[in-house]
Amino acid sequence: MFIDCDNYFIYLFTKILYDMRLVIMKRAVISVMFGAVMFLACENPQKHDEKQAEKKANEAAQAAESAAEHAKASTENAAAAAVATIQMNINNAMAAIPMPDFKTKTAKNLAEEFHGLLSKLVNANSGKKAGEYVDKLKELKEDYDKKVAKEKLDPADKMLLDTYVKNMLNAVQNAN
């Protein structure tokens, strides 16, 4: 077999040129991509610093808002705990006073009624110490004394009832 040298050399020459063109194209594409990456990576330092400063300012503002919200929640929780403590102390003090053994049903009903009225008054003023609503406690006692005076009670029951009412009022006032 005989190889035509002219055609073979032309073939090799074109193949070399084609391969070189691919290498040149690869290098050109790589160079353009490297340039684009460098362009994007090397943005204006002043603008970059401004963006970072703005980002830090936003973070600081959010941190301040968060701290204010936490402080508010903490204050509300402390106030709620104080109210609950006062209420618990009053309830415990009232529960510690035993209901006397009355001879008549009327005296027992009056004692239970006073207990209910006192509980309503205390619950209506929950969160306040009894010293802050002493006037209301005195009014309750005066109204109740008028009601008891209208009833015909056994002297022993009246004495037990008066002692019970006095002890309940003292317990509420001293529970704080």
130 falls within a domain: yes
8 falls within a domain: no
Site of tokens 């006062």: 86
59 falls within a domain: no
Give this prediction's pTM: 0.55
**Nearest residue to 131 via CA among 97, 82, 170:** 170
37 falls within a domain: no
If you average pLDDT over residues 91-106, what whole number do you get? 83
Which residues neighbour 137 within 8 Å (Cβ) at sequence distance 6 or greater? 121, 130, 169, 172, 173
Token code pair at residue 77: 């929780």
15 falls within a domain: no
Distance CA 93, CA 101 (A): 19
12 falls within a domain: no
96 falls within a domain: yes
Chain centroid offset of residue 138 CA: 38
Greater model confidence, 12 or 70: 70
Predicted confidence band of residue 176 (pLDDT cuts 50, 70, 90):
low
Query: Residue 90 sits in which domain range?
Result: 69-174
The domain tally of the chain equals: 1
138 falls within a domain: yes
Site of tokens 């490297």: 34
